[in-house]
Each structure stands twice: as C-alpha cells, then as structure tokens.
C-alpha cells in the first residue's frame, strides 16, 4: 500500500484567534527589515545625525560593529523630554502629514529605526540641545530606562551594543569582524560621497581608519576623488550638467578603466545613496559604443531634483527611489554622460597625466600650449617646423552624405581625409596626436607629439571614424522610416506587454513599430523600422515592450541601428597590412582628433596609446 501523504505542519496546529502582536515583537519584525547587520544600524544612525544638521560626525566601531556602534554628531540635539519618544515606534519630528511624506527631504522619516534597534540590542542616547542641560536614556530588548541628567557636548551620541544579543539565531548569520567592518566602511564612504560638506571620521578598535574633511569645492568632486581613491580618480572625467529641473554632477571613468564587477557604481539622489535601475541603465547606454564586452563602467553620480518629482518611501531601508518621470531622468543621465565621453581627443586626453586627470575644476582644462615640449639638452626639431613638414594633403573628396556612400568610401585606394581635417597653416596646438613617423608591421602607426611617442591601431581608429560618419549620415531628428510587414507577426503577449502597448502607443509609433491587439492575450506586429527590416519583428517588439515596462523608455531600436552601423564600419575600415603613406597616416590622425569617442573603437578597445618621453628614458636608463 502507498503511504498516506504527509499532512502539512500548519494543518496539525489548532486554529489560533486573531490578536494584536506585542509591541516588542513588532519592533523585532521591523528590525528584520531595517537592521540586517551592524552596517544597517550605522546607516540609520548616520541618517539621523545628518538630518539633525550635523557638520562633523565621528563613528566608532568595535569588532566590526558587533561589539558596539557609536555615532556622535554636533547637530541640534534632542530635548530631554523627547528622548523616550525617540525610542517609540513611528515617532518622528520629520513628517506630520501625508503631504510632508510625499515631499520628504530628510534621509530618515519613518520613525522605526531607533525602536527596532532598541528591540534587538542595548542602546544608549546622550544628547544636549544648545542652551539646555544634557540628558541620557538607555534601553535594552525594548525596555526603556528613565531619563537621567548628564554632562554632554551640544549634539547627540548614540551607542549600540551587542546587536542581536537576544536573537542568537540572527547573530549567527553575522560574518567575521573584518567582514562586518568592511560593510560598515562602505556605508561610511557612501555617506561621505553623498554629503561632501560634512567632516567625517571613522575609528575601528581604537584606530583611526578613515577621515574626510569638508569639501570646499562647489560641486563636491574633490570629496569623490578622495573617497574613491587614486585608482578611480586617475581615470575619472568630471561631469556637471543642468537639464531642466534635474542637476547631474560627479565623475565617470574612461572606458579603458572598466572592471569585470559593478562594485564601483555610486548613484546619489538628493543626497541619498540608492540602487536605481533607471539611472544605471542610462549610464550603461551612454557607454554602449565605447565599452568592451561585458565590462562594467566606474562612476559616481550625484543627481538633484525637486522632492515632489521623486518618491523615497518605496523601500524599508530607503535604498530605492521611484521617479515621477523615469524616462526623462533616464535620457538626462544618458545624454550628460555621453557628452563627457564624446569629447574630442585634443580636448583632454593628451594633457600631462597630473593635469588631465585633475577633478577639482570640472569645466576648465589647461591649454596644450602651456605644456613644455623642449627638454634641457634635447636635440629635437622645433615643433612648428614639424607641423609644417607633416601637414596633411588637401582633401580630394567631401565627407560622405549617406550610410552607403560612407561605407563605399571607407577604404579607398588612398585614405581620403574629411574636408574638416585640413588646416591651411598648421599650428602646434592643432595636432595633439602629433605627426606620423612610420607604420609598424602594417598594423600600427607610430607618431611623435609634444609628450613623446603615440602608437595608433589604424584599423580600430578608422573604424571609429567611419562609424561616427555613418551615424551622422542618419539624421536622428527626422521621422523613422517604416516598412509594413507583408505578413503581420502575431504572438502571445502577457498582461504587462499588452498594457505597455496601450500606454506607450505613441512612443512605439515614433520608434517605427506598429502594434495592435489581436485578441484578449495576443499582439500583432504590423510594421517595423526600415533600417531593421531583417530583424525578427516579434523579438524586436518584445524587447522594446520589456524596456517600456521596466523604465518607461526604450533604446533598443537605437542599439540595433548602431550595431548595424558598427558592423558596416568594421567591414569598411582599413584592414591590417594596408601600406599607408605619411600623408595618409597624418590624415587619419587629423580625423581622429576631430572625431567623438576617438579614444575607443566601436568594440571598446583603445585606439591609441601615449608613451611619454620620461617612460622612454627609463627604458634606456637615461639620466641615471
């Protein structure tokens, strides 16, 4: 005989009456959502200190925060009579009604963090408001002690000891002290990034680990460089942009500094560190043409917009936000980052390393002419005479006016520069990539500039030039050409896809996709963009609908179009082992200097490298 099926454990228990949960248990449940580890408690305490108007905050940890977490600030302080209220659930001074909740400008406003901590740890608050006496209150496992007078500096000091001492099962999930400290250090650094006007110090086991002074710069970019370190700032490009009510500032790294992991990506919205797919996708889209493979860009972006345009009350730990117009935010971030990455080569890349990577002045860069070229005792011809000797030949043809002409003219018998690449009277500052000396193994161009030797991958460089010309030949402001399908393509659609097709019908038509509902659970594709006539219409439509569901906008058609143009550029660019004359090589260098994103090819590989004179001297031990 077959054994009888096991009865679910819940059915074996007698039915219990419905009753309210005890306050302590409610706070412990809240602690499970808000306080996961010492770093979570530190984040909440830092938020409270910042909301109190602190200008300097000191954090002390013991055993990675498992011993104690202490946050001391010089903010406004808490009156003695309000200290017991601070430890009650949902008691706060930061919001009073629903309207203030919708416009919350504070970092912490739910009024549950301190109560949750008091339910799972021992907590002590010492506070003094200016002009009043200091007071202290203690709580343990949800039990509040009396308020006692005490000596104290103006401000507040909160000490959290023995986290999860009354929940051994939760405490077992904590890692080693060093790992917990690393989590706390990350929280501390995020606060330092989001609030450059604060002075911050972090002590661990009696040792000063991190210290950041107030950043006097107007955009806070010095603080970003200090927190993220030399390995980040050495490749960072400053960004400041005002797009309607939205301000974007920060640092984005060159594509050549991309990493395999997305662990150096910081998004700050209204001084709040968050994880946001809309902003992250916008940044990724800006890097689409210059990032190699699956590598992840490095960046730190601070986004400011009116509080009524962003909802911060969507996550218990307040680590996510919702934008009222996510599509506008996505496009603003994308265009701001694209503009920085699209700088011409001569604008920034060939400055001396300590000047090119400086981030203190985000919109001003030193002129190339100010950099020294002649060394004491160096036997080199004058730079202006080199400019005249290696000037490019006049252009034989105008720039292609269509993608097909650009493709056909991509690799002529002799390289033809664009008309804009010719300078009738060359000057030193016009040619940051220098002048060609020779061709190496039919693959690389060797050139000399003010700083030493430039090595150019001629196929990668020409591929980028042709790709940008193809994109320019496809005007983006005109209507998308549409090709009706001879046989409409129907597919089974989800409720979300049908809803997106209805809500974004105008957007879909502007992208060149015509969709109709064919039944209660199906959609039919009747037309697609002409440029993507050979693409799978169902797969294309589903991909666009998925983007519209997730972020309210879609760049999928643009990505497919660019992928097609990139393939054309790759096949049309100069191939290896093509022998070029000096004039042709110089023409290629001139076009690189005037082409956006010329630092990388379409696949994200670098197109050129600089070897400085000091590096060459070191190779041959000169001056030793």
pTM of the model: 0.67
**Residue 595 and residue 432: Cα distance in Å, rounded?**
13
Closest CA to 501 of 546, 466, 556: 546
Q: What is the C-alpha separation between 617 and 2, in angstroms, rounded? A: 85
The CA-CA-CA angle for residues 325, 326, 329, to 5°, reads 95
Structure tokens at 608: 């050129």
**Measured between alpha carbons, how far is 157 from 57 in angstroms, rounded to an integer?**
10
∠ CA 273-278-282, nearest 5°, is 105
**534-548: per-residue pLDDT in tens?**
678 888 888 888 877
Fold of 23-212: Heat Shock Protein 90 (3.30.565)
How many Cα atoms within 13 Å fall on the side-chain side of residue 287?
25
Helix-, strand-, coil-residue percentages of the chain, each rounded to 5: 40, 20, 40
Superfamily of chain region 380-474+570-619: MutL, C-terminal domain, dimerisation subdomain (3.30.1540.20)
d(CA 267, CA 117): 27
Tell me the two tokens of residue 132. Answer: 């009043």
Convert the pLDDT of each residue in 276-325 to its tens digit.
888 998 998 888 877 776 788 999 999 999 888 888 767 666 678 888 88
What architecture is the 221-347 domain classified under in CATH?
2-Layer Sandwich (3.30)
Question: What is the distance between the alpha carbons of residues 160 and 41, in angstroms, rounded to a whole number?
Answer: 8
Q: Which residue has the higher pLDDT, 597 or 177?
A: 177
Task: Please report, for the chain, the start and end positions of each structural domain, with discontinuous segments joined by +.
Answer: 23-212, 221-347, 380-474+570-619, 482-556
Residue-wise pLDDT tens digits, 177-216: 999 999 999 999 999 999 999 999 999 999 999 999 998 8
Could you give the CA distance from residue 544 to residue 547 in angstroms, rounded to a whole number? 5
pLDDT in tens, 373-404: 333 333 434 444 444 444 444 443 434 444 33
The number of C-alpha atoms within 13 Å of 549 and in the hemisphere containing its C-beta is 15
SS3 of residue 276 by DSSP: coil
Q: What CATH number was assigned to the domain covering residues 482-556?
A: 3.30.1370.100
List Cα–Cα distances, 164 to 8, 122, 428, in angstroms. 31, 9, 68
DSSP labels for 288-334? TTT--TT-B--EEEEEE--GGGEE--SSTTS---EETTHHHHHHHHH
Cα 356 to Cα 253: distance, rounded to the nearest angstrom: 12
According to DSSP H, which parts of 372-504 are helical?
383-389, 403-408, 458-473, 495-503
How high is the pLDDT of residue 403? 38
């Amino acid at each position: 005989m077959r054994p009888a099926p096991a009865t679910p454990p819940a059915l074996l228990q007698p039915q219990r009456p419905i009753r309210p949960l005890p306050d302590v248990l409610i706070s412990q449940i809240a602690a499970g959502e808000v306080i996961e580890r010492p770093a979570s408690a530190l984040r909440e305490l830092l938020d409270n200190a910042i909301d109190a108007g602190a200008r300097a905050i000191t954090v002390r940890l013991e055993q990675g925060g498992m011993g104690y977490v202490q946050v001391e600030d010089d903010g406004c302080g808490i009156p003695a009579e309000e200290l017991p209220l601070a430890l009650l659930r949902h008691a706060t001074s930061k919001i009073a009604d629903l309207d203030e909740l919708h416009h919350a400008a504070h970092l912490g406003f739910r009024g549950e963090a301190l109560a949750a901590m008091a339910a799972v740890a021992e907590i002590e608050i010492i506070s003094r408001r200016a002009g009043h006496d200091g007071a202290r209150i203690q709580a343990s496992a949800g039990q509040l002690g009396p308020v006692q007078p005490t000596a104290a500096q103006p401000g507040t000091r909160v000490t959290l000891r023995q986290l999860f001492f009354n929940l051994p099962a939760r405490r077992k999930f904590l890692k080693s002290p060093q790992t917990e400290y690393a989590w706390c250090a990350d929280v501390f650094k995020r606060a330092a990034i989001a609030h450059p006007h604060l002075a911050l110090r972090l002590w661990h086991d009696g040792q000063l680990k991190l210290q950041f002074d107030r950043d006097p710069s107007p955009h806070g970019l010095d603080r970003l460089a200090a927190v993220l370190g030399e390995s980040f700032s050495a490749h960072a490009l400053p960004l400041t942009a005002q797009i309607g009510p939205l301000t974007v500032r920060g640092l984005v790294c060159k594509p050549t500094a991309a990493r395999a992991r997305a662990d150096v990506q910081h998004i700050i919205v209204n001084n709040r560190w968050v994880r946001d797919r809309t902003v992250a996708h916008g940044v990724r889209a800006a890097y689409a043409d210059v990032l190699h493979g699956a590598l992840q860009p490095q960046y730190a972006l601070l986004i400011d917009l009116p509080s009524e345009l962003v909802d911060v009350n969507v996550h218990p730990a307040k680590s996510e936000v919702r934008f009222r117009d996510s599509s506008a935010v996505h496009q603003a971030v994308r265009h701001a980052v694209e503009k920085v990455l699209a700088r011409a080569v001569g604008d920034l890349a060939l400055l001396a390393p300590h000047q090119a990577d400086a981030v203190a002045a985000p919109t001003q860069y030193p002129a190339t002419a100010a950099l020294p070229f002649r060394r004491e005792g160096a036997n080199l011809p004058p730079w202006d005479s080199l400019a005249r000797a290696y000037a490019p030949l006049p252009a034989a043809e105008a720039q292609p006016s269509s993608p097909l002409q650009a493709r056909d003219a991509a690799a002529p018998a002799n390289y033809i520069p664009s008309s804009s690449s010719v300078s009738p009277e060359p000057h030193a500052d016009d040619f940051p990539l220098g002048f060609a000396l020779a061709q190496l193994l039919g693959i690389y161009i060797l050139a000399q500039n003010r700083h030493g030797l430039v090595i150019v991958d001629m196929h990668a460089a020409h591929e980028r030039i042709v790709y940008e010309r193809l994109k320019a030949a496809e005007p983006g402001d005109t209507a998308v050409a549409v090709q009706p399908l001879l046989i409409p393509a129907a597919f089974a659609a989800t409720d979300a896809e049908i809803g997106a097709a209805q809500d974004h019908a105008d957007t879909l038509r502007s992208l060149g996709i015509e969709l109709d509902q064919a039944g209660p659970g199906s959609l039919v594709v009747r037309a697609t963009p002409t440029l993507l006539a050979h693409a799978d219409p169902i797969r294309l439509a589903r991909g666009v609908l998925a983007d519209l569901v997730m972020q309210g906008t879609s760049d999928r058609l643009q990505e497919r179009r660019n992928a097609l143009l990139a393939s054309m550029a790759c096949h049309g660019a100069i191939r290896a082992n093509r022998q070029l004359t000096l004039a042709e090589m110089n023409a290629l260098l001139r076009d690189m200097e005037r082409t956006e994103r010329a630092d990388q090819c379409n696949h994200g590989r670098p197109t050129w490298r600089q070897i400085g004179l000091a590096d060459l001297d070191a190779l041959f031990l000169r001056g030793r």
